């Protein structure tokens, strides 16, 4: 395990930002946990050593249903994008291409195996892409299940999927997709993309959420190649997989929620797996050189004024993927969440800027979703109110990208006050883009003082 982490992992730092002071009888403790991974210095990850086997494995799943031929530019764009992604693979990475219709089929290399990337296999894969044809239906669960089987043929630390679809999952029941996602969760991460505007936002974002990847819309097929290249470059930058956030709480305490809040909002609370004694693990997926923020909320017993306690201990852990059930998980970094009860009302009622900011960002994602849903139901008054609140939150937090997306569905009269009018006509692509990207957040503008940080 020590050799695994030393040779394949970045260094992790954990910083905790909070106002630890609570008024008498208060029980809710909030903290923002910032996890920063460094190590490669932004340099490309070196080629895998053939003697050790591939450290990374990727399966690209391409929608080949009949609708991909309407217009033909979608299928052409998908072939070109997949070829661009293959060109981005570094030498030594295991990979495969899957064609998805109402069933899943291996396009390259075939035979239930993965190819090892080099000049020869990349060229052969690009040639195989010429045979992709649009015909059949859509059963995304079968695509994911085949990708899972292929990825499990190698002991790679980083297992990743890229999934492209242009339509709804009409040829399998919703529960079949859910079962496939449940089976794949924790085995590989997956970025999902919808091309055009005939796909279901909730399905695509649900896939990415369940598999700890990213989701986005590519409205025009000609933009697919650049997007696929960026996704593959990101995947190639990952150095360690299946990192988990472990949260220990004292006797009598209870975890209210654990959410990733940057770079996007993702509620991890229900994904807890117990790690006795009094600890639980929350999945965070794979990491390269990057930083993420998590909002931890814990309920603790309220003692007398003057009492101080450790409300939670946060740790980043990893297991050697080659040794399931083997040595104990190794700790990559840790931090402490404190609670101090005081009768100083100024100290006790001061809201930590990190906590306040991300509470607003979570609300922003929620009100956008609510507003768009109300609009679909024909409740224009309700939609206007919720989207006005979204504009206000985006403006106040400096979330310029979300503000720009909102301006495509509402006319903004006063951003600070949240006064807006629904546009009479809204392009479907603009509405879907806002919905898909609504969970993306921005970080706090002002760096917290040292008094707000607890190592």
Domain of 160 in residue numbering reads as: 50-236
Under DSSP, the state recorded for 342 is -
Instruction: Point out the least confidently predicted range of 224-228, 234-238, 329-333, 361-365.
Output: 329-333
What phi and psi, each to the nearest 5 degrees, are found at residue 298?
A: -130, 135
CA distance 363 to 345: 26
Are both 410 and 336 inside the same structural domain?
Answer: no
**Which one-letter DSSP state was computed for residue 325?**
T
In-domain check, residue 228: yes
The enclosing H or E element of 402 equals helix 400-406
Q: Do 270 and 369 fall into the same domain?
A: no
Among 65, 68, 86, CA closest to 77: 68
Pick the closest to residue 75 from 147, 131, 140, 143 (CA basis): 131
d(CA 116, CA 258): 38
Tens digit of pLDDT for each residue in 412-421? 999 999 999 9
Which residue has tokens 């079949």?
176
Q: Is 119 helix (H, G, I), strand (E, B) or coil?
A: helix
At residue 9, does pLDDT exceed 70? no
Question: Is 442 inside any structural domain?
Answer: no
Burial 330-342 (b: 16+ CB within 10 A, else e): eebbbbbbbbbbb
Among the candidates 292, 313, 344, a domain finishes at 344
Q: Residue 53's closest CA among 94, 87, 88, 86?
A: 94
Say if strands 240-248 and 308-318 run parallel, antiparallel, or are unpaired: antiparallel
Confidence of residue 49 (pLDDT cuts 50, 70, 90): low
7 and 62 belong to one structural domain? no
Q: How many percent of the chain have pLDDT more than 70? A: 91
Q: What is the predicted pLDDT for the residue at 325?
A: 55
What is the C-alpha R_g of the chain?
23
Q: Can you give the length of the chain in residues? A: 455
> Which of 208, 236, 264 is at the close of a domain?
236
pLDDT-derived band of residue 53, with 50, 70 and 90 as boundaries?
confident
| pLDDT band (50, 70, 90) for residue 321 | low
Dihedral of the alpha carbons of 242, 166, 432, 265, in degrees to the nearest 10: 0
Quickly tell me which residue has 């639980």 as its tokens. Answer: 280
Kindly compute the dihedral angle of the four CA atoms of residues 191, 192, 196, 200, in this order, to the nearest 10 degrees.
Answer: -150
Is residue 278 within 8 A of residue 250, CB to CB? The reply is yes
Q: Which tens digit of pLDDT belongs to each residue from 67-105? A: 999 999 999 999 999 999 999 999 999 999 999 999 999
Q: Answer whether residue 454 is part of any domain.
A: no
Kindly report the three-state secondary structure assignment for every residue of 69-90.
Answer: HCCCHHHHHHHHHHHHHHHHCC
Both tokens of 146, joined, read: 């085949």
Q: What SS3 state is found at 143?
A: helix
The enclosing domain of 179 has a CATH number of: 3.40.50.410
Q: Is residue 128 part of a domain?
A: yes
Look-up of token digits 């990190």:
354
CB distance 411 to 317 below 8 Å = no
Looking at the structure, do residues 79 and 6 belong to the same domain, yes or no? no
452 assigned to some structural domain: no
Residue 448: inside a domain: no
CATH number at residue 26: 2.60.40.3670
Instruction: Give the Cα separation of 386 and 358 in Å (integer).
Output: 18
Q: What angle do CA 63, 64, 65 make, to 5 degrees?
A: 100
Q: Judge if 203 and 119 occupy the same domain.
A: yes
Q: How many domains does the chain have?
A: 3
| Confidence category of residue 5, pLDDT binned at 50, 70, 90 | very low
Q: CA 39 to CA 42: how far, in whole Å?
A: 8
**Cβ pair 18, 348 in contact under 8 A:** no
Q: Can you give the CATH number for the domain in which 364 is found?
A: 1.20.120.1690
Pairing of strands 11-17, 453-454: antiparallel
Q: Torsions phi, psi of 329, nearest 5? A: -60, 145
Is 378 found in the same domain as 268? no
pLDDT bin (cut points 50, 70, 90) of residue 293 is very high
438-441-442 Cα angle (round to 5):
145
Alpha-carbon span 15 to 13, nearest angstrom: 7
Structural domain ending residue among the three candidates 344, 375, 406 = 344
- Are 60 and 200 found together in one domain? yes
Verify that 232 and 314 share a domain, yes or no: no
Q: Judge whether residue 125 has pLDDT over 70.
A: yes
Residue 79 in tokens? 């072939």
Whether the pLDDT of residue 44 is over 50: the answer is: no
**Phi-psi region for residue 442, left (φ > 0), alpha (ψ -120 to 50) or beta?**
beta
Query: Residue 42: which pLDDT band, with cuts at 50, 70 and 90?
Result: very low
Q: Are both 152 and 252 inside the same structural domain?
A: no
- 422 domain-assigned: yes
Whether residues 58 and 196 share a domain: the answer is yes
Per the domain annotation, does 443 fall within a domain? no
Q: Enter the tokens of residue 96.
A: 């495969």
358 and 318 co-located in one domain? no
- My answer on whether 181 and 321 are in the same domain is no
- What residue ranges in 268-329 does DSSP mark as E strands? 273-274, 279-287, 290-299, 308-318
């Amino acid at each position: 395990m020590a050799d695994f982490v030393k040779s394949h992992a970045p260094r992790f730092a954990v910083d905790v930002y909070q106002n630890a002071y609570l008024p008498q009888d208060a029980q809710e403790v909030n903290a923002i946990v910032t996890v920063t991974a460094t190590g490669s210095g932004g340099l490309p990850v070196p080629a895998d050593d053939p003697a050790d086997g591939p450290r990374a494995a990727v399966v690209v799943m391409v929608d080949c249903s009949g609708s991909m031929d309407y217009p033909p530019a979608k299928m052409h764009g998908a072939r070109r994008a997949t070829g661009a992604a293959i060109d981005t693979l570094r030498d030594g990475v295991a990979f495969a291409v899957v064609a998805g219709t109402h069933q899943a089929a291996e396009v390259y290399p075939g035979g239930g195996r993965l190819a090892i990337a080099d000049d020869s296999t990349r060229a052969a894969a690009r040639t195989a892409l010429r045979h992709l044809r649009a015909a059949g239906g859509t059963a995304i669960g079968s695509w994911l299940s085949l990708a899972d089987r292929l990825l499990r043929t190698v002991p790679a630390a980083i297992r990743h999927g890229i999934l492209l679809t242009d339509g709804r999952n009409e040829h399998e029941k919703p529960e079949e997709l859910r079962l496939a996602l449940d089976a794949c969760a924790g085995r590989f991460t997956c970025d999902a993309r919808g091309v055009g505007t005939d796909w279901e936002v909730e399905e695509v974002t649900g896939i990415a959420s369940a598999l700890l990847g990213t989701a986005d819309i590519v409205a025009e097929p000609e933009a697919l190649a650049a997007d696929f290249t960026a996704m593959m470059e990101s995947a190639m930058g990952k150095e360690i997989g299946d990192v988990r956030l472990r949260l220990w709480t004292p006797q009598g305490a209870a975890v209210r929620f654990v959410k990733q809040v940057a770079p996007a909002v993702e509620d991890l609370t229900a994904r807890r797996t117990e790690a006795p004694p009094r600890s639980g693990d929350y999945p965070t997926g794979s990491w390269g050189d990057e930083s993420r923020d998590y909002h931890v909320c814990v309920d603790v017993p309220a003692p007398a004024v003057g009492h101080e306690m450790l409300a939670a201990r946060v740790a980043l852990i990893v297991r050697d993927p080659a040794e399931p059930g083997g040595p104990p998980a190794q700790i990559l970094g840790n931090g402490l969440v404190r609670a101090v009860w005081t009768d100083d009302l100024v100290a006790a009622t001061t809201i930590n800027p990190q906590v306040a900011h991300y509470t607003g960002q979570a609300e922003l994602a929620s009100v956008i979703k609510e507003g768009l849903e109300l609009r679909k139901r024909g409740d224009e008054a309700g939609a206007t109110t919720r989207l006005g609140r979204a504009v206000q939150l985006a403006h106040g937090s400096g979330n310029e990208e979300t503000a720009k997306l909102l301006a495509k569905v509402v006319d903004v009269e006063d951003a600070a006050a949240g006064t807006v009018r629904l546009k009479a006509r809204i392009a479907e692509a603009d509405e879907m883009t806002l919905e898909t990207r609504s969970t993306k957040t921005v970080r706090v503008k002002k760096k917290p003082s040292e008094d707000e940080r607890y190592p």
